[in-house]
Amino acid sequence: MAYSIYLRKSRADRELEKQGLGDTLKRHRDTLIELARKMNITIGEIYEEVVTGDSIAARPQMQRLLNDVSEGKWEGVLVMEVERLARGDTSDQGIVSNTFTYSNTKIVTPLKIYNPADEFDQEYFEFGLYMSRREYKTIQRRLHAGMEASCREGNYIHNTPPFGYERVKNTDSKGFRLSPKPGEAEIVKLIFQWYSQGVLQEDGSYKQVGTALICDKLNKEYSIKPKSGVWTVPTIMTMLRNEHYLGRIVYGKSRRLKTLENGTVSLKWTYNAPGTYQVFEGKHPALISQETFDAVQARLASNPRRPSRGITNPLAGIVKCGMCGRNMFRRPYQKRGQVASLICQQKTCHNVSSPFPVVESALINAMQEWIDGYEIQEEQNTYDVDVLNSKILLLDEYRKQIDGFNKQLNRIFESYESGIYDSDVFLARQKAVSAQISQTEQSIESLEKEIKQDKEFLTSQEQLIPRAKKVLEIYKTSDDVQLKNDLMKSVLDKVVYTKTANGHFKDQRADDFKLELFPKLPKNKGLPNK
């Protein structure tokens, strides 16, 4: 049975990379592959975690690894340290420990091999996971304290600057600050001026306009666009409320909270009310005066958004049944205290319904993880054309290996026919080489899928992700159901929902379902077709 490799970059690794110490994942990959060579073991698959997260739910490659381990796919897993496997809470650590123990899967590190059947090894493994969790909590506290301190100094700590600014490195200290971006800064000033004073007419008077007319004017008369490529009402509304334009730094305006809904823990974004988050003076110049900003806020407050009275399902036409392929529907609650359900209305379909809020929350979390993964990949430059080409070369190498194995089989048959091998030796060696061929063919299939995904990522990086990020940002804060539905349809072809477990039993979880996202990926342009 083959082994696998699990790679995950820690926060300390990322800091070392910033100091010019090279790609951590590549170093670890080379180290573990060399370890496999010395141990004379075969590597069937490499799981590379490119997203960060303190829980298994936020680490898709770990989810895949645990699923494969639970099915007994691997004899062992190679990892730099056991701490790379889990930094979640005690329940996550228990899942990792039990999965490896029950499947009798070894954990191989450069320093030690952990055998789950050995009582002492199991204790060492569990202790390593516990210490990893403590270290993670300490790092988190230091990180947040450092971020707050940097904001207090007037620095900008996020990767993407607000429209109208660009992020520049401080010359006199660590960190980054905002600097007005020519062209965009003028657009910001125009937006605030139009909304607070109106648009100047030919007779010298000012005509009051709303956000929709501002969007129309910008799209028709100005070439400078936001990242999404088009001016929209939600984009304008977000800008009109942005305190960064006053020359300030905002910290802690939004945060992710763990909530318990119908017995299920989920992560949700929440926005703190004004006065509950911190605002500091920034190092960047203001684009808008306090007087203009206050006038805009007063007008916004006098024109609250009215919720849509049209559709009641923000996911209408998006979520498809994983069993019959039909649209899933939102069934309103029937009795006081009940929540709406997501159901398949086909009577003969066996897809089990779920509480609609749970499905919606899971979809938002899945999209957020997907976006985070792309952004981290972009920030770390882990996915570029060179990486793609290296995988294509590896695929060619796998195919050459198949040719070599076939030649070995021919020689084995020839040795049998000439009497060099007896039947027992022939059968043993023929079986071994055939297994290598089967394993390599599986690696080829897996790598082909990775190459396809990488090509899709490269084409999506500049087109889809910025739009999806903005969509999710607006979706979380909007009460307009029709708008939320339109936003989701702009970035998703469909979402396939499947649930086989009946949720009416006490031992069944409300989120025991599978969601498969199908983003609207652009056509591949200018990438190698090999």
What are the φ/ψ torsions at residue 368 (nearest 5 degrees)? -65, -40
Between 176 and 172, the higher pLDDT residue: 176
Which residue type occupies 175? G
- Is 437 within a domain? no
Judged by average pLDDT, the poorest of 17-31, 170-184, 349-363, 418-432 is 17-31
Answer yes or no: is pLDDT of 156 > 80.
yes
The domain of 191 spans 165-255+282-302
pLDDT at residue 128, rounded to an integer: 63
Helix/strand/coil for 255: strand
- Is 131 within a domain? yes
- Is 238 within a domain? yes
pLDDT at residue 184, rounded to an integer: 95
Q: 130 and 57, same structural domain?
A: yes
Structure tokens at 164: 């109208």
Q: What is the Cα–Cα distance from 230 to 218, expressed in whole angstroms?
A: 9
What are the φ/ψ torsions at residue 8 (nearest 5 degrees)? -145, 135
Give me the torsion for CA of 62, 64, 70, 76, rounded to 10°: -70
DSSP 442: H
Between 196 and 374, the higher pLDDT residue: 196
CATH of residue 245's domain is 3.90.1750.20
Which residue type occupies 215? C
Helix/strand/coil for 365: helix
Answer yes or no: is pLDDT of 508 > 60.
no
Q: 337 and 298, same structural domain?
A: no
Structure tokens at 389: 């080409």
CB atoms within 10 A of CB 188: 22
What's the total number of domains in the chain? 3
Residue the block writes with tokens 């790679």: 7
Dmax over CA atoms of the chain, in Å, equals 105
Per-residue pLDDT band at 206 (split at 50, 70, 90): confident
Q: What is the Cα–Cα distance from 230 to 215, expressed in whole angstroms?
A: 8
DSSP 327: B
Structure tokens at 218: 């910008």
Q: 204 and 171, same structural domain?
A: yes
pLDDT at residue 227, rounded to an integer: 84
Average pLDDT over every residue of 44-56: 73
Boundary-marking domain end, from 244, 273, 302: 302
Average pLDDT over every residue of 54-83: 85
pLDDT at residue 283, rounded to an integer: 92
CATH of residue 97's domain is 3.40.50.1390
What are the φ/ψ torsions at residue 308 (nearest 5 degrees)? -65, 140
Q: What is the Cα–Cα distance from 493 to 448, expressed in whole angstroms?
A: 23
Percentage with pLDDT > 70 across the chain: 76
Between 373 and 314, the higher pLDDT residue: 314
Average pLDDT over every residue of 309-313: 73
Average pLDDT over every residue of 179-194: 95
Q: What is the Cα–Cα distance from 75 to 253, expressed in whole angstroms?
A: 47
The predicted-structure confidence for 106-138, as pLDDT tens digits, reads as follows 999 998 888 877 777 767 666 666 665 565 566
Q: Are 176 and 159 in contact (CB under 8 A)?
A: no
* Helix (H) or strand (E) segment spanning residue 49: strand 43-49
Per-residue pLDDT band at 287 (split at 50, 70, 90): very high
